[in-house]
Amino acid sequence: MAKTINLEFEGKQYTLEFTRKTIEAMERNGFRIQDINSKPVSTLPMLFAGAFLKNHRFVKNEVIEKLFNCITNKEELFAKLAEMYNESVETLFEEKEENEGNVTWGASW
């Protein structure tokens, strides 16, 4: 089961979560996790906003920015977001438990 972060802001509940599809959408919009150390001012808010895509795609950026500005303990929040992000990426490499229907492959060298 995917890890989530639950927030309440101005009487509304938000569940932040990443999937491979939401990460793909983030990457199409220019997000690069590698930039987190060299460009934290733009990358960290993008990571936060990207966590809304799965369950709250239609929340306006202004609301996300306002919520972001009101959050405390951002360092721990970003550690948790990065962990969630990385776990979603790792699902790309997970092996199916069943062999039926799996594609096998081999190299010629």
Residue 86 lies inside a defined structural domain of this protein: yes
Residue 57 lies inside a defined structural domain of this protein: yes
pLDDT at 34: 92
Residue 105 lies inside a defined structural domain of this protein: no
Residue 73 lies inside a defined structural domain of this protein: yes
Residue 55 lies inside a defined structural domain of this protein: yes
Residue 101 lies inside a defined structural domain of this protein: no
E strand or H helix that includes residue 4: none
Spell out the per-residue pLDDT of the chain, length 109, in tens: 789 999 999 999 999 999 999 999 999 999 999 999 999 999 999 999 999 999 999 999 999 999 999 999 999 999 999 999 999 999 888 776 666 777 777 888 8
Q: How many domains does the chain have?
A: 1
Q: pTM, whole model, 2 decimals? A: 0.85
Residue 100 lies inside a defined structural domain of this protein: no
Residue 106 lies inside a defined structural domain of this protein: no
Q: By residue range, what is the domain housing residue 81? A: 5-93
E strand or H helix that includes residue 12: strand 12-16
Instruction: Quote the tokens at residue 43.
Output: 């990358």
